[in-house]
C-alpha cells in the first residue's frame, strides 16, 4: 500500500517544500502555527494513509454530537498543500506528527519531492530555551550541505547535540538523501511560555521567507506578538521571582549560540515538567 495519494498538481515554478508537524520540536505551537497560517486555505495536492500513521488512542478523532446524534468525525491528517507565491511555488507539508512508519513515510515523501521537482526543503521547528520574551526570538539554522544558508543565519549549535528525534528530522534526512538540498529553522521559545507564541511563528516565517527569496504572508502575527508581549510583561511584573529570572535571561541575551549540552539539558528539563519522563 502506498502511503501517499497525489491529486492533480498544477505546473510548479521553482517549487520549495516547507514542512512542520505539531508535537515534538513545536514548542508553543510556533512551527505548526506558522504552517497553518501559510496553508489554511490552500489547495491540497497530496494526502497520506492516516490509518496506518496514527495511534488513534493518542490522537483521537474529534467527534461532533449534535442534538444527541453522532454527526461527524474529523480525523488527524497529514497533507501537502500548494501555496502560489510571486516568482515561485511553495508546497506546505503539515499535520500532526505521525506515530508509526516514519522511515517508510520519509521514503514516500522523498520520492514525492523528486517527482514534483522540489528544489529546496525547509523544516520549521521550535524548541524551549532559556531566552527572554523581551528580546528578539533567536532562530537556529541547520543545513544539509555547506553554503545553503544566508550569511546572517546562525547555524548550530556547535558540537554534538544528541536528543530524541522528531519525525520531521527523519523525513528531512530521507529527502536530502534523495538529492534535495535541505535547511531548517528552529525558533527558541522562552521556557516559561506555554503557547501560543506569535513572536516565534513570525520569526520562523521571516527567516524562511528570506531564505527562499519570497515574501510570505504573516497575517496578524505582528499584532498578536505585541499583545502577547504586553500580557507577559504584566504577568512578570506581578511576580518578583519571575522578574528576577527575566533579568538573568536578559543579561544572557548577548551570549553565543548555546552549546549542544545546554540545549539538551533544557529540552530534558522541559520534558520532565511536561511529564514526558
Give the C-alpha separation, 260 to 162, whole Å: 7
CATH of the domain at 231: 3.40.50.10900
Contact yes or no for 143/84 (Cβ under 8 A): no
Residue 192: which residues within 8 A CB-CB, separation 6 or more? 242, 245
Q: Which domain holds residue 133?
A: 4-273
Give the C-alpha separation, 201 to 110, whole Å: 26
pLDDT string in tens for the chain (277-residue length) = 689 999 888 889 999 999 999 989 999 999 999 999 999 889 999 999 999 999 999 999 999 999 999 999 999 999 999 999 988 999 999 999 999 999 999 999 999 999 999 999 999 999 999 999 999 999 999 999 999 998 888 888 888 888 889 999 999 999 999 999 999 999 999 999 987 999 999 999 999 999 999 999 999 999 999 999 999 999 888 888 888 888 888 887 755 545 555 555 555 555 555 454 4
Task: Identify the bridge partners of residue 163 per DSSP, sorted by sequence position.
Answer: none
Query: Taking the complete model, does pTM exceed 0.95, yes or no?
Result: no
Residue 12: which residues within 8 A CB-CB, separation 6 or more? 82, 89, 91, 116, 117
Count how many domains the chain has.
1
Q: Pairing state of beta strands 62-66 and 69-74?
A: antiparallel
Amino acid at each position: 500500500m502506498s502511503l501517499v495519494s497525489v491529486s492533480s498538481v498544477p505546473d510548479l515554478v521553482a517549487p520549495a517544500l516547507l514542512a512542520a508537524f505539531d508535537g515534538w520540536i513545536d514548542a508553543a505551537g510556533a512551527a505548526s502555527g506558522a504552517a497553518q497560517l501559510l496553508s489554511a486555505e490552500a489547495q491540497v495536492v497530496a494526502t497520506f494513509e492516516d490509518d496506518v500513521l496514527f495511534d488513534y488512542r493518542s490522537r483521537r478523532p474529534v467527534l461532533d454530537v449534535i442534538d444527541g446524534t453522532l454527526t461527524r468525525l474529523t480525523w488527524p491528517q497529514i497533507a501537502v498543500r500548494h501555496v502560489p507565491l510571486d516568482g515561485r511555488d511553495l508546497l506546505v507539508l503539515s499535520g500532526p506528527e505521525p506515530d508509526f512508519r516514519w522511515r517508510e513515510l520519509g521514503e514516500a515523501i522523498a520520492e514525492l519531492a523528486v517527482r514534483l521537482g522540489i528544489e529546496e526543503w525547509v523544516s520549521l521547528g521550535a524548541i524551549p530555551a532559556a531566552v527572554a520574551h523581551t528580546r528578539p526570538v533567536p532562530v537556529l539554522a541547520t543545513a544539509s550541505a555547506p553554503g545553503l544558508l544566508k550569511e546572517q543565519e546562525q547555524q548550530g549549535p556547535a558540537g554534538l547535540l544528541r536528543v530524541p528525534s522528531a519525525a520531521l528530522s527523519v523525513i528531512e534526512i530521507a529527502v536530502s538523501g534523495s538529492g534535495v538540498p535541505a535547511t531548517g529553522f528552529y525558533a527558541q521559545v522562552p521556557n516559561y511560555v506555554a503557547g501560543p507564541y506569535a513572536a516565534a511563528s513570525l520569526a520562523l516565517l521571516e527567516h524562511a521567507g528570506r531564505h527562499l527569496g519570497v515574501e510570505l504572508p504573516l497575517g496578524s502575527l505582528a499584532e498578536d506578538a505585541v499583545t502577547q508581549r504586553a500580557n507577559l510583561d504584566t504577568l512578570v511584573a506581578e511576580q518578583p521571582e519571575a522578574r528576577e529570572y527575566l533579568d538573568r535571561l536578559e543579561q544572557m541575551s548577548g551570549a553565543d549560540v548555546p552549546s549542544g549540552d545546554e540545549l539538551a539539558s533544557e529540552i530534558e528539563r522541559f520534558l520532565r515538567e511536561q511529564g514526558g519522563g
